[in-house]
Chain A
Amino acid sequence: MMTYALRRLLMLPVVLFVLSLMIFGLQMSLSPTQRLATYAPSDDFLKGGQESIRMMIEEYGLNDPFFVQYGRWIGNVLQGNLGWSETARQPVAVALTRLFPATMELVVLAFIPGLLLAIYFGSRAGIHHNRWPDHIIRLFTILGWSFPTYVFGLLMLLIFYSTLDWFPPGRLSQWAVVEVTGDGFTRYTGANTLDALLNGNFAVFFDALRHMAAPVITLTYVNLASITRVMRTSMLEALRQDYVRTARAKGMPRRVVELHHARRNALLPVATIAGMELAFMMGGVVITESIFDYSGLGQFAAKSAATLDFPAILGFGLYFAVVLVVLNLLVDLVYPLLDPRVKTR
């Protein structure tokens, strides 16, 4: 097991190196002038004239050969310097570090209950195949699949914010912002709920939860739908296996057969898809974050891409690659726990 994990870990730098080359290569497909334009904060930049443009190309070394520029960039990356993001008005590494807790907080709150509910609903639907619990769950998941996140999010806002005023957008109310930025509040992690608990400030804790409720429900529902469907199919498959029939024939209680024997094996494909879902959520949930005015990695990535903020795009690309590779590794490590046969293979 340890060798297996180490082998996977050793692949990580190679994957990241290749990815970094690809991402950097994409940027280099633009001309120096085009890349320089990405340093221009506004159209006013043009007022500097052609000479200023030439000076800036020299200043940023945008005419240097590919590997010189790549070497310079990767050298900086290895020192933790991902460059300056015009979009975030701060170093890319700082932006990623500060935004990560916000997205992580949202993802954890949405993913864990979503996954547990999906496993539960998927199992029930599989067990009660073609009976009313299955029909209800299928309808529920089809609705989740069919609702674009954008529309579902807007509906959530209209109902729970506009009408009921329960779950406002943003991360905190104005009074809570004043509290959090005040002297008496320490920012330990950057995650509002956790920091509020660590500070013993329950008013801020509940305010943060109130603001997270709508995006969490939206994300949970959307992800729940896809994982539930996989779980249901997988459960149906497992329930048709010989070992399930044998267990039933031996007179084992139905609950034990379904939940211990069948469900455990049915979890394998769910682990794969859940790992991927989690990775994509960790990359930021652009639409959810935008609709609910939730400053996280998704909004940052979207704006960086729209404004061709290359240091941010490169930095985010690297971050996402790391997340993807690490989560893939974790999923691989979870497999043997669910199915011991994987270990022996």
Chain B
Amino acid sequence: MKRAIAMSLGLGLGLMATTAIAETKNPGTFVFLWTDDVQSFDPAYIADTPSSYGVLNVYSRLLNYKGSEISEFVPSLSTEVPSLENGLIVEHDDGSVSYTFPIREGVFAHRVGIKGDDGSISWELYDTLTDEQKAAMVPGYGEITAEDVQYSLLRAMLMGQSWMSNAITEVVTAGKYPTIADWVKDVGEVDSIDDASPEALRQVYDALASQIVVDGDKVTITLPSSFPATLGVMALPFGTSIVDKEWTADVGGWTGSGDDWREFYRPELSADALFDKENGTGPFMLEEWDKTDRRITLKRFDNYFMGPASLERVVIRTVPEWTTRRLQLLSGDADFVAAPVEFLDELSKTEGVKVIDSLPKVFSRGLFFFWPIDDNDNPAIGSGKLDGKGIPPEFFGDIDVRKGFNYAQNYDVLIQQVLLGKTVQSRGPSVRGIMGYRPDSPVYTYDLDKAAEHFKKAFDGKLWDVGFEFTAYIQEGNTTANAAMSILQQGLQRVNPKFKMKIQALPSASLQALRNNREKPAVPFTFMGWGPDYSDPGGPLGAATYYLASTGLVGGFSGQGYRDLMAEHFDPLLAEAWASSDPAVREPIYAKLQEMSYDYATTQFLFEEFGYIVVRDNIDGYVHNMITYGAWDFYPITKGD
């Protein structure tokens, strides 16, 4: 309703607004208005895309993604991208693989340690140093060295806080241990990391440190076996971002000792030393984070090792109200605004505004089947029986039910009318650009006859006779989810009027809570989308694994029935593909897995997620990289006069 009123007022008084199409305001400052929040500035803590905006711009990593490429890299703190050709990747006879990163010299963090007359060390902004202060700089205090790289990677893994930091543990152990806690439990033979002895903790630290070795200005990471996505993980703006060891210890973070790392394991956000401060080497410095005003100000680091950015400042503000954001964009007070998809056409015709849309994303959205469903007083499944007034817990375990649902969805209406034709139908876990995607692989189409055919076969024909009734859940405020469910609801009703699917919107936290029962989730059917964390479809964080492994993310919450299906049919192929490093061997396997996701109707894959940006027309330089989920790298951004 609010949106409708806003829209009417916006259109009705649009003429009035045109007078505000303005001259360049705040030259040199990029004002970025969104609806998200940054959780923390600690790269080892964060795992979500909005938080990566901060870390991406204030820290540097060993490598960066090459523009919008998702499998190609360029040097950053490492002067070279390791490869077999340049000898920086070495495959050993025992199956282990080493990656060597030569660390760039003369890279300084935003603050460096200066020795005072009394011998004490103070941290000063590098940009403001006088020659005298530069002469008093303490070696290693703010100057990035190979030790800092080793420290940063160890810190992220030992902190064990975020999924993305744990991804480094998976890389270093080649998938053997998903978290440092698992490693400790194994070594210490205990049930919980809390019960581990100091010796066990030290043993794990030593083992970990022995795999990340400093040799002069080089850091070598040795993995017990091949992990093809290693470089991809290293370039992500999360735990592989490099922090300065001395500064981190000075502000209360981990000292780097193998004896006290447990004290810094999984800290409360408020207790994390790097929560709202930073000393990175990135193109911008955190000038201010006003949490009350929900405003982050980044200031240009003039001594950035790749040269200073064009922008002097970036102001990131959370403005929940769309109309306010829109007016600020029109008046030139904002340079970027997060905009609802339904306003894209109108905005693209607005003077002074530039819309870049149909930007690909690395994941798809779909409707997810769960089985068995929790039948303990669960209102979502009604009677809990196949009697027309509910569904049995194993409802979606019947392949004909899943296929019937998939044929009852009108994909064209959803994509062309709801999503304005800005994306394409999803073909499975792997989207365009990911290994295993083939443009000619089979997809479901809206076919009520076929839907009826499968529903008639389900539950030996009983389902067709008695019908069903259950509740599907969507997240509150998600209009696309609502549309997808509603279109399906209509399709089901057309197939058989006895097929009743109710749709209920829940707050995100409530929906999560209903999904959290690993053995028997309380959600029968919901709208979601999960994206991989690197471009390789395999390994623990790849798209195919996420969806199709019994140990994958989707398997984790979809119920034991789903996991059993994956274990029986998909796990062996996933293991086979991951064991090989030859793309020619791997690609057909992932393509086969993609096809099998169709054959078994594992999920109702709907559409490939897409992105878009809305900026003032004097803003240039945005680079969209889908593996970083379109995170804004402000370094190449320019703002014209």
Enumerate chain A interface residues (CB-CB to B < 8 A). 30-31, 33-34, 36-38, 40-50, 53, 55, 84, 86-91, 95, 98-99, 102, 150-151, 154-155, 157-159, 161-163, 165, 168-171, 174-175, 177-178, 181, 290-293, 295, 299, 303, 306-308
Contact A155:B9 (CB < 8 A) given known A38-B509, A95-B291, A181-B297: yes
The interface stretch among B197-205, B322-330, B487-495 is: B322-330
**Least Cβ distance of A113 to chain B in Å?**
24
- Rounded to whole angstroms, the CA-CA distance of A32 and B20 in the bound complex is 51
Q: Which residue of A lies closest to B161 (CB)?
A: A48
Partner of A174, one of B19, B315, B553: B315
* B17 lies within 8 A of chain A by Cβ: yes
- Rounded to whole angstroms, the CA-CA distance of A162 and B329 in the bound complex is 10
Contact A151:B16 (CB < 8 A) given known A174-B315, A181-B297: no
Q: In the complex, are the beta carbons of A163 and B16 less than 8 A apart?
A: yes
**A53 partner residues in chain B, CB cutoff 8 A:** 516
- Rounded to whole angstroms, the CA-CA distance of A154 and B290 in the bound complex is 26
**Least Cβ distance of B617 to chain A in Å?**
18
Q: Which residue of B lies closest to A56 (CB)?
A: B266
Enumerate chain B interface residues (CB-CB to A < 8 A). 2, 5-6, 9, 13, 16-17, 19-20, 22, 25-26, 29, 31, 37-40, 47-48, 162-163, 192, 268-270, 276, 287-288, 290-295, 297, 313, 315, 317, 319-321, 323-324, 327-328, 330-331, 333, 507-510, 512-513, 515-518, 553, 556-557
**A162 partner residues in chain B, CB cutoff 8 A:** 13, 16-17, 19-20, 327, 330-331
Most A CB contacts (10 A, CB to CB) among B2, B315, B508, B512 go to B512
Q: In the complex, are the beta carbons of A291 and B324 less than 8 A apart?
A: yes
Main SS of the interface on chain B?
mixed
Q: In the complex, are the beta carbons of A161 and B20 less than 8 A apart?
A: yes
28 cross-chain CB contacts under 8 A: A37-B509, A38-B509, A41-B48, A42-B48, A43-B508, A44-B48, A46-B515, A47-B47, A47-B556, A49-B518, A50-B518, A84-B268, A84-B269, A86-B269, A89-B40, A89-B291, A90-B292, A98-B292, A157-B323, A158-B327, A162-B331, A174-B333, A177-B295, A181-B290, A290-B321, A291-B323, A292-B324, A293-B328
Q: Which residue of A lies closest to B16 (CB)?
A: A163
**Least Cβ distance of B543 to chain A in Å?**
14
Q: Which residue of A lies closest to B528 (CB)?
A: A43
- Rounded to whole angstroms, the CA-CA distance of A224 and B331 in the bound complex is 31
Q: In the complex, are the beta carbons of B556 and A46 less than 8 A apart?
A: yes
Q: In the complex, are the beta carbons of B294 and A295 less than 8 A apart?
A: yes
- Rounded to whole angstroms, the CA-CA distance of A38 and B20 in the bound complex is 41
Partner of B510, one of A34, A50, A161, A177: A34
Q: Which residue of A lies closest to B182 (CB)?
A: A51
Most A CB contacts (10 A, CB to CB) among B313, B328, B513, B515 go to B513
**Least Cβ distance of B164 to chain A in Å?**
8
Contact A169:B327 (CB < 8 A) given known A49-B518, A50-B516, A95-B292: yes
Q: In the complex, are the beta carbons of A158 and B13 less than 8 A apart?
A: yes
Most B CB contacts (10 A, CB to CB) among A177, A303, A306 go to A177
Q: In the complex, are the beta carbons of A177 and B292 less than 8 A apart?
A: no
- Which 7 interchain pairs have the tightest Cβ spacing? A34-B513, A50-B518, A98-B292, A162-B17, A37-B509, A44-B47, A42-B48
Q: In the complex, are the beta carbons of A290 and B320 less than 8 A apart?
A: yes
**Least Cβ distance of A108 to chain B in Å?**
18
Partner of B327, one of A42, A49, A55, A157: A157
**Least Cβ distance of B207 to chain A in Å?**
22
Partner of B328, one of A88, A99, A169, A303: A169
Contact A46:B20 (CB < 8 A) given known A37-B513, A162-B327: no
Q: In the complex, are the beta carbons of A151 and B320 less than 8 A apart?
A: no
Partner of A89, one of B16, B37, B317, B319: B37
Q: Which residue of A lies closest to B13 (CB)?
A: A158
**B38 partner residues in chain A, CB cutoff 8 A:** 89
Q: In the complex, are the beta carbons of B292 and A295 less than 8 A apart?
A: yes
Q: In the complex, are the beta carbons of A41 and B39 less than 8 A apart?
A: yes
Q: Which residue of A lies closest to B167 (CB)?
A: A47
Q: A37-B513, A89-B291 are in contact. List 19 more A-B contacts (CB 8 A).
A: A31-B513, A37-B516, A41-B48, A46-B556, A47-B163, A48-B163, A89-B276, A154-B9, A155-B13, A157-B323, A158-B13, A159-B16, A163-B19, A165-B22, A168-B333, A169-B328, A174-B29, A181-B290, A293-B324
**Least Cβ distance of A146 to chain B in Å?**
14
Q: In the complex, are the beta carbons of A47 and B293 less than 8 A apart?
A: no
Contact A171:B163 (CB < 8 A) given known A42-B48, A46-B557, A162-B19: no
Partner of B331, one of A88, A98, A165, A178: A165
